[in-house]
Amino acid sequence: MAFSNEQLERYSRHIILKEVGVKGQKKLLNARVLIIGAGGLGAPAALYLAAAGVGTIGIVDADEVDLSNLQRQVIHATSNIGEPKVESAKETMEDINPDVTVNTYQEFVDSTNIAELIADYDFVIDGVDNFPTKFLINDACVMAKKPFVHAGIIRFKGQLMTYVPGEGPCYRCVFKTMPPKDAVPTCKQAGVIGAMAGVIGCLEALEAIKYILGIGNLLTGKLLTYDALAGDFHTIKLPPADPNCAICGEHPTITELIDYEQPECADAAHGVSLKVGE
Q: Which residues are annotated as a binding site?
A: 13, 40, 61, 72, 85, 109, 129-133, 170, 173, 245, 248
pTM of the model: 0.93
Per-residue pLDDT of the chain (278 residues; tens, 9 = 90+): 789 999 999 999 999 999 999 999 999 999 999 999 999 999 999 999 999 999 999 999 999 999 999 999 999 999 999 999 999 999 999 999 999 999 999 999 999 999 999 999 999 999 998 999 999 999 999 999 999 999 999 999 999 999 999 999 999 999 988 877 777 777 778 899 999 999 999 999 999 999 999 999 999 999 999 999 999 999 999 999 999 999 999 999 999 999 988 665 433 322 333 433 34
Active-site residue identified among 141, 187, 202, 265: 187
Q: Which residues are annotated as a binding site for ATP?
A: 13, 40, 61, 72, 85, 109, 129-133
Q: Which residues are annotated as a binding site for Zn(2+)?
A: 170, 173, 245, 248
Note if 187 is an active site residue: yes
Query: What are the C-alpha distances in Å from 140 to residues 9, 117, 118, 124, 243?
Result: 39, 10, 8, 11, 18
Q: What is the 3-state secondary structure (H, E, C) of 65-127?
A: CCHHHHHCCCCCCHHHCCCEHHHHHHHHHHHHCCCCEEEEECCCCCCCCHHHHHCCCCEEEEC
> What is the CATH code of the structural domain delimited by 31-237?
3.40.50.720
